[in-house]
Amino acid sequence: MPELLQLTVDGLPLSAMVDPGRTLLRVLRDDFGRTGTKEGCDDSECGACMVLVDGLPVNSCSYLALQAAGRAITTVEGLARDETLHPLQRAFLEGGGIQCGFCTPGMLISAAALLARDPDPSEEAIRDGLAGNLCRCTGYQPIVQAVQRAAAEMRAAT
Amino acid sequence: MTERFAAPTSLEEALAILGRDRAARPVAGGTDLVVASRQGRRPLPESIVAIDRIAELAHHAVADGSLVLGGLTTHAWLAETPEVRSGWTALADASAIVGSPATRGTGTIGGNLMNASPAAETTAPLVVFGANVMLRAIGRGSRIVPVASLATGPGRTSAAPDELLTTVVVPAPDPMSGSAYIRLEYRRAMEIAVVGAAALVTLAGDGTIAAARIALTAVAPTIVRAPEAEIALVGAAADAAAFRAAGAAAAGAASPIDDVRASADYRRAMLAVVVARTVAAAVARARGESIPIPASRWAHGQEV
């Protein structure tokens, strides 16, 4: 039996009738049109589907949509403010942290969660923070550097 | 196909649903239940009870020296909390290497135990600490089950379908003891133990080994104690020869299987190494030496 799901996505209050077995990823993409969040492996290995649920990173492909009722979801589409990219997004773009781009939404979300917890992470802390996100293009080095650069910029701005 | 979903906020309500709806299964973080369905290993249950909003299951405290954990305690909390890291270090070692930050933030100790994977990370540490769980059902109250006898096979436990794991109680280890958990891993994250071992070692005043408990991951249908390795250690000098003897004894008695991650022979060979290094880390910690958490990373390239 479908149930009413009400939640906040990127600051917007949204609702939908949702079958209990559906995942948050499917509802974000198919019901709410938030296609920035990607389906990679669909079994929690790759991290392309990463979103924040009440500020914590979650693989949305393996999280039941109805468990998100009343919670605040942040997708990659909630990182930019109006037309201004988030410092992480800019650093990824300018530093070559993006090649094909498919892992990027999940990488950005995991990086945002890491910097919220640790504004000045070591390289090892960055690699640990991104350990649930696979990238098959970059070799990770430009991604790690982009996070370091964004972190420094965000610290300087506060 | 899941037909029914409930998200109770009280334990009584959750137990009532599990009591009257025989198809109902609990979900906390979903990191096993939902992933298994995505991988096609096991369909989602017909009825789901989401227990993640039940405050009575989200407590954690040190009481009378014991670590008392609500079933919803996350791996992240266990990996980061100073009391766990200092007092129940093997549990912090294990929790710190579960999945990724997302897995650790949503995955729970109750789920890890009730999923009953032969490769579960937190079980072997809980077994060596002599932890018990409380299982509660509507109309029958609570019963206490040792973690060592909770799992009965891969994915199976001795819990009845209407019972919910509410609490894990981990007794305080002896003074002069140290503990560690190490797994053999092919990658650092999103990994499943190829083999693993937990050790709790207590030193005597003269520095010899007074007591040892060892439990093994991913070498049997459930997490098992390794009495042969424990016997090899008790009374011995706490040195590399004893650590190697314990590893050889554990490997000699183990009967692992061949699967996609390793052959039985490789598992047995590596078990000897992993047990020896785990005991070495536990002994070092018992002596007050600092071994980083998670010990699995420290273990690479050790001489033992």
- Per-residue pLDDT tens digits for B22-58: 999 999 999 999 888 877 888 999 999 999 999 999 9
Residue type, B132: N
State how far residue A1 is from chain B, nearest Cα, in angstroms: 5
Q: How many CB atoms lie within 10 A of CB A16?
A: 16
Rounded to two decimals, the pTM is 0.97
Residue tagged 């109680």 (tokens): B169
Question: Closest to B4 (Cβ–Cβ): which among A20, A63, A132?
Answer: A20
> Are A132 and B35 a contacting pair at CB < 8 A?
no
Give CA–CA dist A143/B217, Å, rounded.
34
Say whether residue B80 is in contact with chain A using an 8 A CB cutoff. Answer: no
User: If you count DSSP H runs as helices and E runs as strands, how many of each does chain B have, helices first?
Assistant: 12, 14
Chain segment B106-147, per-residue pLDDT in tens: 999 999 999 999 999 999 999 999 999 999 999 999 999 999
Say whether residue B44 is in contact with chain A using an 8 A CB cutoff. Answer: yes
> Are B5 and A66 a contacting pair at CB < 8 A?
yes
260-299 of B, contacting A, C-beta below 8 A: none
User: If you count DSSP H runs as helices and E runs as strands, how many of each does chain A have, helices first?
Assistant: 5, 5
- CA angle (B199 as vertex; B198, B200 as ends), nearest 5: 135
Chain B residues close to A67, C-beta within 8 Å? 7, 27, 30, 50, 52
Q: What band does A42 get if pLDDT is binned at 50, 70 and 90?
A: confident
Chain segment B71-85, per-residue pLDDT in tens: 999 999 999 999 999
- For an interface test with A, which of B106, B115, B191, B293 has the most A Cβ atoms less than 10 Å from its Cβ? B106
Sheet with B196-203: list strands edge to edge. B177-183, B196-203, B209-217, B224-225
Instruction: Provide the pLDDT for residue B192.
Output: 94
Q: Which residues of A touch B (CB under 8 A)?
A: 1, 3, 19-21, 23, 42-45, 47, 50, 53, 56-59, 61-64, 66-67, 69, 110, 113-114, 128-129, 131-133
Instruction: Provide the pLDDT for residue A82.
Output: 87
Chain segment B159-201, per-residue pLDDT in tens: 999 999 999 999 999 999 999 999 999 998 999 999 999 999 9
Of the candidates A123, A149, A130, the one whose C-alpha atom is nearest the C-alpha of residue A47 is A130
Say whether residue B216 is in contact with chain A using an 8 A CB cutoff. Answer: no
Reading the block at residue B206, the tokens are 């003269």
Q: Answer for the pair B189, A133: CB distance below 8 angstroms, yes or no.
A: no
Whole-complex ipTM: 0.95
Q: Answer for the pair A50, A56: CB distance below 8 angstroms, yes or no.
A: no
Q: How many Cβ pairs closer than 8 A exist between chain A and B?
A: 89
Q: State the Rg of chain B over Cα.
A: 19
Chain B residues close to A63, C-beta within 8 Å? 29-30, 34, 106
Q: For residues B30, B33, B39 and B43, what is the CA-based torsion angle, rounded to 10 degrees?
A: -130
Residue tagged 């690479």 (tokens): B300
Q: Answer for the pair B111, B118: CB distance below 8 angstroms, yes or no.
A: no
> Are A59 and B1 a contacting pair at CB < 8 A?
no
Give CA–CA dist A103/A50, Å, rounded.
9
Evaluate if residue B261 carries a pLDDT over 90.
Answer: yes
Chain A residues close to B80, C-beta within 8 Å? none
Question: Closest to A1 (Cβ–Cβ): which among B3, B31, B44?
Answer: B3
